[in-house]
Amino acid sequence: MKNLMSLNKRLLVLVISIAFIAMALLSACSSGNNTGTTDADTTGNEAASQPQKELKPINIGYMPDMHGATPLVIADEKGYFEEEGLKPNFIKFLNGPQELQAMAAGDLDVGYIGPGATFLAAQGQAKILMPDSLNTGDMVLTNVNSGIKTGADLKAKTVGVPKGTSGEMVLNLLLKKYNLTPSDVNIMNIDVAGAVAAFTANKVDAVAIWSPYTAEIEKQLGKDNIVVLATNNDFMPEYVFPQSWVANPTVLKKDEDLILRFIRAWNKANDYRIDNLDEAVKLTVDFTQVPEDSLTVQLDTTQWLKSSEIKSKYEDETIYSWYENLEKLFVETEKMKEVVPAKDFVAGDIYLKSFDK
């Protein structure tokens, strides 16, 4: 009996010893991997710790329409800006001269201007990177009850127009057609939204503005109550009206890479816009809150230019002739003293460089 009890005690001691050894082994294994993660966890942490691609900030001026906003909306929505390592900050404007004032203050890196502000670029306030498109949506409008039938009847009348814009450009061409000068009419310098309000309230005899604001006037007054005195089409092909994307000259000089990244993202967005106009309208509506029908009107008042076409027209120097021809008009209207070579303010070489990557 004693022998049996002695055996049981020895077995109990053996079991307890084995248990302590097992616990020690488990502890050692645990301390050998004290991060508390599996191999999969370690891989995930290593991936998370990898530095993210640094995005360069860029301040971009836009206008709320199919030209001055849509490429930006698409580039942001489709990831083209991110692909080029850019973090865009969009700033809204209603006309080109205001954008170039902001650019001169150092608040903008790139922006969009209409044809009428081209003379400011020619004076050195901006470098034109590429035409966005050719515009046919500028109009001089009057009320059917105004008694004004042609441009000749504008003499001594009050015309609301944002100065330095494509609206003023078409107005000047109309006046020239009838041997009038800007001094022969009473020009009220007013922003485009104010021009719409003034015209619909009969505060001015006529307005010189552009689509989609012309569509808003038609919506408010009715098409039958408006007389169209002139559009861009009346002066083509002698003149064409390129709408442009421009760069801050100081930024372009200091950080050409930033501008090249913008152009590459814009090229992708521009071509997508042209190939997907219906989707482009909807994306622009969401971004600008401009009514869809007002934006759709611009599809019929625009000659779109694919990026490959812009490239080709830079290579054969057609684009330079577009801008120099507009300069002649600016000289006639005394906005410029003389025509300067377009290559002084149109950076075609930079645009072509964007295709090198």
Q: In this structure, is residue 15 part of a structural domain?
A: no
Per-residue pLDDT tens over the stretch 82-113: 999 999 999 999 999 999 999 999 999 999 99
Tens digit of pLDDT for each residue in 123-156?
999 999 999 999 998 999 999 999 999 999 999 9
Is the domain of 230 the same as that of 270? Answer: no
What mean pLDDT do residues 193-211 have?
Answer: 94
Residue 195 lies in a domain: yes
- pLDDT (tens digit per residue) in 315-335: 999 999 999 999 998 998 889
Question: Do 95 and 114 fall within a single domain?
Answer: yes
Task: Measure the CA–CA gap between 180 and 171, rounded to whole angstroms.
Answer: 10
pLDDT band, residue 307 (cuts 50/70/90): very high
**CATH number reported for the structural domain that contains residue 270 in this entry:** 3.40.190.10
Q: Assign 2 a pLDDT band (cuts: 50, 70, 90).
A: very low
pLDDT for 237 equals: 87
Structure-block tokens of residue 66: 């199919």
Same domain for 271 and 203: no
Q: What is the pLDDT of residue 212?
A: 86
User: Which has the closest alpha carbon to 201: 188, 210, 183, 182?
Assistant: 188
Beta bridge partners of residue 304, listed in sequence order = 133
**Amino acid found at 173:** L
The percentage of the chain sitting over the pLDDT mark of 90, rounded to a whole number, equals 77
User: 235, 268, 293: which is the final residue of a domain?
Assistant: 235
pLDDT, position 332? 87
In this structure, the dihedral spanned by the alpha carbons of residues 287, 291, 297 and 299, taken in order and rounded to 10 degrees, is: 20
List the structure tokens of 8: 């049981």
Q: What is the pLDDT of residue 325?
A: 92
For 11-65, the pLDDT digits (tens) are 344 444 444 434 443 333 333 333 333 343 444 444 444 556 799 999 999 999 9
Final residue of a structural domain among 204, 220, 235: 235
Is residue 91 assigned to a domain? yes
Count CB neighbours of 258 within 10 A.
20
67 falls within a domain? yes
Question: 262 and 328: one domain?
Answer: yes
| Alpha-carbon gap, residue 2 to 19, rounded angstroms | 26
Q: Name the E strands within 136-231.
A: 138-143, 158-161, 186-189, 206-210, 226-231
Per the domain annotation, does 17 fall within a domain? no
Q: What is the pLDDT of residue 28?
A: 39
Residue 23 lies in a domain: no
Mean of all residue pLDDT scores within the chain: 87
Give the total number of structural domains in the chain.
2
Residue ending a domain, among 235, 256, 279, is 235
* Top-confidence residue, 259 or 294: 259
In a domain, 332, yes or no: yes
CA pair distance 153, 209, nearest whole angstrom: 18
Domain containing 197 equals 138-235
